[in-house]
Structure 1
């Protein structure tokens, strides 16, 4: 099935800056923040970056620094890529101006979680791509800062495909589908076929795979939320060792939505009734793979 996007670059303004030295970072960041400071009706711009980068901005901005919100990126990016969607959505709802107007300079923590593995990096590139759809209704202006000294050439090359102001931009749906086309590994030895009801089986078995009781309960809620969103499920497997316990669900129908579980629900409370959104917020990874006979949805807790 061919999927198309409705991204309109005249609304959400998603930019990219690539640098390999501190002065090159300043050359990109300072004009952007000045643009935000001068934008009528906007709240103070925000800079989310490495602490040393924030110190550099503070010194360069001088007295204007008090009008810019400076946030260490480890304080903003506190979990998975899906958590980053929630963080940005919550900020736009609570602190942005009319229609989500605000300037945000954002540097993912490529020396931390975002760059710790090929798998994790792929999730963050997905986030960068889908942001063009998720935040298209807003008038936010975002500059994503990529330091080649920590991100590296491969990550920067992939990120160019997710930013409309680069020569390499591609439709977010196409890029997400490419990420989904990467083959998943098979279940590990000892994978268990779960009996119905699946949430009760997850609760009983995940503790045996090393999850603490509170974690087993939260994982069970995440699986139940996914089940409520997916329609008829024909089977479930569980495997792994804590914290990377995995539950794989097989559905009768395709999901056919690259944004499934990424669209922020109204209100700020996190509830299991929010379905796949809740699941993505709880789990480190949620992989949805459609095929001709339905879908395989793999949930990894940690």
Structure 2
């Protein structure tokens, strides 16, 4: 298993003036339809004054189609195989986009990004994973709201499937079923978490050393156990005061820790906003946890919050 490392805590550049995130969606079921949607979008980016080259992040076959269709203009488009971009969780993809905008976008985050997840990989392998992608699609409307980035999310119905496409429409403002991001994420979070197994190990104090040792006994390699233990410890510190014991269960790679905070978090963006260069954010550990864990589930209630971390 490839060990994940947290991305650098970089955020998009501050906008130079008024800007609005333009979050589009294209659905296609043939190679010709893909080219018909992607080509005008990339042409728009090439013609945009003061913008860097547009970026196409898609499958190798689709990149070849685009190069053929673009002809001489292909040299002015940055082509990235989507397996090089979408290398971890949905939260990793958000962090990667933020880092790319910081390093490559024009002032105000102005750039055109054509983005197609790897639907035959993690993104489309289960309803659980699809939920995470739709959550991040929805929250992108808030995370990048102040930027002039133009993103076209490409959905191949042949690989993503009709259910994923239908859900994704609710996260894109240009569709007739678009939902407010906060309402949509609240709906996703209204699904109760499965109960912990009866054999879950209680842990009075979720110290990194204890979690690391437990994870090693459950089969995680040393480097992965270190990342998971650090994520647990960072999250526990961010949630303090904790309410009750932590719980550990699972086998490698799907090691799980559940923590209980004595206070609700009340922030759907918790852990999606990178920590600032200086100072302290409200929940710094959750950003780290979202970078190294496949899943970070948060459920607020009147008495506090349940946070469940799953490594893979």
Mapped to 1, the partners of 2:291 and 2:220 lie a distance apart of 18
The Cα shift of 1:197 comes to: 4.8
Runs (5+) with no aligned partner, structure 2 = 1-17, 278-282
> Which residue of structure 1 aligns with residue 6 of structure 2?
none
Mapped to 1, the partners of 2:152 and 2:201 lie a distance apart of 45
Q: Deviations over 1:260-291 (max 9, x none)?
A: 00012346xxxxx9421111101110000011
Q: Deviations over 1:200-241 (max 9, x none)?
A: 321232222222222222111101111122121122000000
Matched, 1:144 2:157: no
Flag the 1:102–1:190 CA change in 2: closer, same or farther, 3 A.
Answer: same
The Cα shift of 1:45 comes to: 0.2
- SS of equivalent to 1:104: strand
Of 298, 301, 304, the residue aligned with 1:288 is: 298
Mapped to 2, the partners of 1:224 and 1:50 lie a distance apart of 37
Mapped to 1, the partners of 2:252 and 2:284 lie a distance apart of 25
Mapped to 2, the partners of 1:42 and 1:213 lie a distance apart of 44
Matched, 1:168 2:177: yes
Count residues with an aligned counterpart: 289
Query: Does structure 2 conserve the Cα–Cα contact (< 8 Å) formed by 1:18 and 1:145?
Result: yes
Matched, 1:259 2:264: no
Of 230, 241, 247, the residue aligned with 2:251 is: 241
- SS of equivalent to 1:244: coil
Matches within 5 A, 1:60-79: 60-79=69-88
Measured on the aligned residues, the alpha-carbon RMSD in Å equals 1.4
> Which residue of structure 1 aligns with residue 64 of structure 2?
55
- SS of equivalent to 2:194: coil
- SS of equivalent to 1:275: helix
- SS of equivalent to 2:223: helix
- What TM-score, normalized by structure 2, do the two folds share? 0.90
Matched, 1:278 2:288: yes
Of 122, 146, 150, the residue aligned with 2:131 is: 122
> Which residue of structure 1 aligns with residue 11 of structure 2?
none
Runs (5+) with no aligned partner, structure 1 = 1-8, 268-272
> Which residue of structure 2 aligns with residue 270 of structure 1?
none
The range that moved more, 277-286 or 208-217, is 208-217
> Which residue of structure 1 aligns with residue 203 of structure 2?
194
Mapped to 2, the partners of 1:182 and 1:148 lie a distance apart of 26
Matched, 1:297 2:287: no
The range that moved more, 222-231 or 242-251, is 222-231
Mapped to 1, the partners of 2:121 and 2:267 lie a distance apart of 29
Mapped to 2, the partners of 1:225 and 1:164 lie a distance apart of 35
Query: Does structure 2 conserve the Cα–Cα contact (< 8 Å) formed by 1:188 and 1:239?
Result: yes
The range that moved more, 117-126 or 182-191, is 182-191
Query: Does structure 2 conserve the Cα–Cα contact (< 8 Å) formed by 1:148 and 1:156?
Result: yes
The range that moved more, 179-188 or 37-46, is 179-188
Mapped to 1, the partners of 2:74 and 2:271 lie a distance apart of 37
Q: Deviations over 1:126-157 (max 9, x none)?
A: 11000000011211000001111011111000
Matched, 1:32 2:41: yes
Query: Does structure 2 conserve the Cα–Cα contact (< 8 Å) formed by 1:47 and 1:69?
Result: yes
> Which residue of structure 2 aligns with residue 21 of structure 1?
30
